[in-house]
A and B are shown apart, each in its own frame.
Chain A
Amino acid sequence: MAGKLYDVVVIGSGAGGGTLSARLAHLGADVLVLEGGPKIDTRTDFNTHALPFQFPSRHIPIMKPGKPGFDGERSRGLGGKTQLWNAVALRFSERDFKGRQYDGVGQDWPFGYAEMAPYYDRIEREVGVCGNYDHLEDLPDGIFLPPVPLKCTDRAIQDGARTLGVPVIHVRKATLSRPKAARPACHFCGNCMSGCDVVAKYNSLDVQMTPALKTGKLTLQSNSIVYELAVSDEARVNEIRYFDRETRAQNVARGKVIVVACACAQSVALLLMSKSSRFPAGLANSSGELGKNFVPHINAGFEAFLTDFIGKPSNDDEGFLDHAYIPSFMHTKKRDYSRSFGIQFNYQNRRSVGWAKNVKGMGKSYKEAIKARYPAYLTFTPYQEMLPNSDSYIDLDPKATDEYGLPRARRHWKLSESDMRLYDDMKKWCCAILEASKAEIVNRDPAPMTNHEIGGCRMGTDPKTSVVNQYCRAHDVPNLYVVDASVFPSSSEKNPTLTIMALATRTADHIASQLQKGDA
């Protein structure tokens, strides 16, 4: 194995690595994927349909008994987080790529929406995205399968939000609303975020990598935890050092081109761990920017009861999770902060009743109140864009190691005053929309939380202020690419995965053309 020189070695098999490796195999490149976690059989390995009382602790584990995977950042499994994601698939808009041109702060991408649009088109055609054509300035339409109907509870929020001039649209998800190729349409059964056992929901293993195996060009190697990328005197990666997750036996792999796609913090960590005399501060880090510009999504969570639904019969609406979305509406409004937010809501699954303890009281009335509120419960979570600042970065913990003895990635983040004003306004709008929808709030996050890790290997044209160039290639290392949300110069308020996939497609095309030219 160590002897073979692959055209491309991809580290990680999620939205970035899975999309890119399958595309390159179809384009004729000889590709090896190294995944830290185990092989996954999507149809049988996940507890998609489990209920809490089947487990003594009442905690539903991700995997079926005896199945490894998803137990740590370095050992998720083939398909990565696309196995467990909620499939929200939103295009970034021109304003998301070029925010600095609009408000003078943050960093712009080296290209705009027009450059990305064809790659969004291709990925939507490839994986299947359902949604409505809403013709919104800040949320470009794509190529959609028909949307999934709204729930009655969504209609209540839609009616309430309308009184404030806030539109509620159908969510856009990489989950099939109609059959496509060998995949069935969603049949609204099970918890999508515990693995979709029928693959109506996109995951990179079943939708992209497994079909690409037919090319004979793709090799999937699981249980291979990469801990170091070694470089030659010419500053090219010449050896990928990894060990077997189970036996810990060490091995090496070689490729003309190396693609790091380990999901944001883990990609940054791998580069930081790959120190050499040439790159003493971490691989591809001559700028000192590696790990900086960490801009995760900041969210505020609410749990509420729609009073119109209190006491109604229990409903069967948990499959597919959220059906609706509130797209950014502040970009075009006067405000005292930069950027904006969007709101995901009504994504709870009904097998989870963790809110019951937050209902007031005890005794018979308490028990009755919970039963009455069961059909009325909903989650409501806005996501905001934060701007990069010097206090927000990823580094390696100098002391703590993980179960494999490798340093843990640490996330540091701090909100600027502008970010805080956005956060406060976002909460205010959420309360207003919930109130207008006749919802009573039962619980709220007391402080900002993070989700969707973004940044750390910023893409840019200047090697002094960025880690990778506009093709996701490291400025310092000509055969090294990074393809995940770590390269995003700005986060937008929109879920990052569709953009990771579009970027992976674009990067795959670039790598293929470089290989053809003998330039890789």
Chain B
Amino acid sequence: MSTYSSDRRSLLKIFGAIGATCAYPFASDELYGQTTAPLPETAPHFFNKSDFAVISHLVGLIIPETDSVGAVRAGVPEYIDMVIARNAEQQAVVADGLHWLAAKNFMQLDDAAQYALLEPLCEAADSGNLRARNVQFFALVKNLTADGYYTSRTGLIDELGYKGNTPHTGFPECREH
């Protein structure tokens, strides 16, 4: 018998599954959409003002304003505030991450120094090397930023150009391939 069995399913939950439910609503979404409670009217609700400013700044570094609107103006910090408020495990990760950034005087650094500090964390997070606490923190903020931005009207419609939900009399034959 192999080592793969139902006993491992709880472990897998941290990674999420692709396609088990055929892309509804997200392909791998363990950190995503954990509540259906309404967004608090005045954010931040969970973070204090200075922590919220740091989180907002990180969000802006991950998905910045370019020739299109970035994640801060798309309301992602408020979304993150709402998600974190409902998850004790993530609250601890964020608290440790903010503490680590404070020790580095993060908010006083210039843009280049901030990127230099974050890029190794980003690389580790992207390669799935999540052992270090500060990498867990970065991965969490990046995941929530991506989810929050690309589920916003700004991200999905304006940035990506989502075109579904339009009736067609037939599906067009592919003419390019």
Contacts and interface: CB of A to CB of B under 8 A. Distances in A.
Contacts, number: 242
Contacts of B1: 389, 391, 414-417
A478 interface: no
B42 to A, nearest CB: 13
Interface in A305-327: 313-321, 323
Interface string A49-65: 10111011111110000
A60 B25 contact: yes
Given A58-B33, A316-B166, A357 B63 contact: no
A155 interface: yes
A189 B164 contact: yes
Contacts of B123: 360
A379 B5 contact: no
Interface string A190-231: 110110000000000000000000000000000000000000
Interface residues of B, number: 75
Contacts of A362: 61-62, 118-119, 122, 142
Contacts of B103: none
B15 A446 contact: yes
B169 to A, nearest CB: 7
A482 B62 CA distance: 54
B61 to A, nearest CB: 6
B102 interface: no
B156 A353 contact: yes
A367 B153 CA distance: 16
A381 B6 CA distance: 19
B150 A348 contact: no
Interface in A147-188: 148-152, 154-156, 159, 187-188
A82 interface: no
B151 interface: yes
Contact of A361 (B25, B79, B126): B126
Given A314-B162, A354-B147, A381-B18, A152 B176 contact: yes
A374 B168 contact: no
Interface stretch (A91-99, A269-277, A295-303, A399-407): A295-303
Contact of A189 (B4, B6, B122, B167): B167
A347 interface: yes
A118 interface: no
Given A194-B24, A354-B28, A366 B62 contact: yes
Interface string B133-177: 000000000110011111111011001111111111111111011
Contact of A374 (B6, B32, B153, B161): B161
A350 interface: yes
Contacts of A413: 5-6
A299 B19 contact: yes
Contact of A351 (B4, B19, B162): B162
A356 B147 contact: yes
Contact of B22 (A57, A321, A419): A321
Contacts of B32: 58-59, 354
A61 B36 contact: yes
Contacts of B165: 49, 51, 189-190
Contact of B5 (A321, A414, A445): A414
Given A57-B36, A319-B168, A351-B162, A448 B4 contact: yes
B66 interface: yes
B23 interface: yes
A355 B17 contact: no
Interface string B1-34: 1101110100010010111111111111100111
Given A319-B168, A443-B28, A353 B37 contact: no
Given A299-B20, A316-B166, A56 B25 contact: no
A450 B9 CA distance: 10
A447 B2 CA distance: 11
Contacts of A52: 25, 151, 156
Contacts of A148: 171
A236 interface: no
Given A189-B165, A447-B12, A58 B147 contact: yes
Contacts of B34: 57, 59
Interface of B: 1-2, 4-6, 8, 12, 15, 17-29, 32-39, 61-64, 66, 68, 70, 79, 82-83, 115, 118-119, 122-123, 126, 142-143, 146-153, 155-156, 159-174, 176-177
Given A51-B165, A362-B122, A391-B5, 19 more contacts: A53-B152, A57-B82, A58-B148, A59-B25, A149-B173, A155-B174, A190-B165, A193-B23, A301-B18, A314-B161, A317-B171, A352-B25, A353-B155, A381-B18, A381-B19, A417-B1, A419-B2, A449-B20, A450-B20
19 contacts: A53-B156, A57-B39, A59-B25, A155-B177, A189-B164, A190-B165, A193-B21, A314-B163, A317-B171, A347-B22, A348-B27, A351-B162, A353-B160, A379-B18, A379-B27, A380-B19, A389-B1, A415-B2, A445-B15
Interface of A: 49, 51-53, 55-61, 84, 86, 148-152, 154-156, 159, 187-191, 193-194, 299, 301-303, 313-321, 323, 344, 347-364, 366-368, 370-371, 374, 379-381, 389, 391, 411-417, 419-420, 423, 443-451
